[in-house]
Amino acid sequence: MIRGGKMQRKRGFETKLIHSGNCPKKWLGATQPPIFQSAAFKFESAEELSLAFSGKKPGFIYQRLHNPTSEVLAQRLVDLEAGKKALVFASGMSAITNTILTLVRAGDEIISGKSLFLSTYLFFTRFLPRFGVKAHLVEADEPKNFQNKINKKTRLIYLETIGNPGLEVPDIKAISQIAHKAKIPLVVDNTLATPYLFKPIELGAN
């Protein structure tokens, strides 16, 4: 990689794991990101504050929503997963819930592998139906099972890279092609594999 006329080596996984997102200039020279505990953040003017609140300009508004510490973690996840953007949540189920509820509304349907983390299974089978969303659970080892369940109401396909607890390994590349042909996103929970072993985005996951 060439930057500024100088040859730079591509960062390895271990280097990204430790250094991605680091910016000592912002941290008074600290080589590792401090844990920012402030609930509120300073703006130079009311105009800048207004632009940040309206989403027209980046800025830290409130600790729980976005802060310098979580920004570093988000950038690190982007680099490790080979993604473009990342959001950080307080728990894995918060991430799953927010993703699904962003993509569906009453009357919609989703398709998921049958072998799921228990909390995800309960979310799909007990919580979503209360809001008019139906989840079709299929055996994930056969891509055609997902194809057969797609209809006009389908809004996404959901997978775990390694099914929990059944340990099924779905063909993510084939299933991503099915999803993209239907113009719906493929959402993948990569918790068990981790980006060290597998990057779903590189095989078509959204």
Tens-digit pLDDT profile for residues 139-196: 999 999 999 999 999 999 999 999 998 899 999 999 999 999 999 999 999 999 999 9
CATH of 92-203 given 3.40.640.10, 1.10.3210.10, 3.40.50.1370, 1.10.3720.10: 3.40.640.10
* pTM, to two decimals: 0.81
d(CA 200, CA 190): 7
What percent of the chain has a predicted confidence (pLDDT) above 70?
93
Residue with tokens 């000592």: 24
pLDDT at 94 exceeding the cut of 60: yes
Mean pLDDT of the 108-118 span: 97
Residue 202, both tokens: 């590189």
| Residue 128 burial class via C-beta count within 10 angstroms: exposed 0-12, middle 13-18, buried 19 and up | buried
Q: What is the pLDDT of residue 5?
A: 53
Mean pLDDT of the 99-112 span: 98
If DSSP states are collapsed to H, E and C, what string results for 9-48? CCCCHHHHHHHCCCCHHHHCCCCCCCCCCCCCCCCCCHHH
Handedness of CA 83, 80, 181, 192 (dihedral sign): negative
pLDDT at 3 exceeding the cut of 70: no
Q: What is the pLDDT of residue 1?
A: 46
Among 150, 191, 149, 186, residue whose Cα is nearest residue 171: 186
Residues 6+ apart with CB under 8 A from 121: none
Of all helices (H) and strands (E), which one includes residue 206?
none
Residue 69, both tokens: 């510490």
Q: What are phi and psi of 154, to 5 degrees?
A: -70, 130
Tens-digit pLDDT profile for residues 23-78: 767 776 777 788 888 888 888 899 998 998 888 988 888 888 888 888 888 999 99
Domain assignments of the chain as residue spans, ordered by start: 11-81, 92-203
Tens-digit pLDDT profile for residues 122-152: 999 999 999 999 999 999 999 999 999 999 9
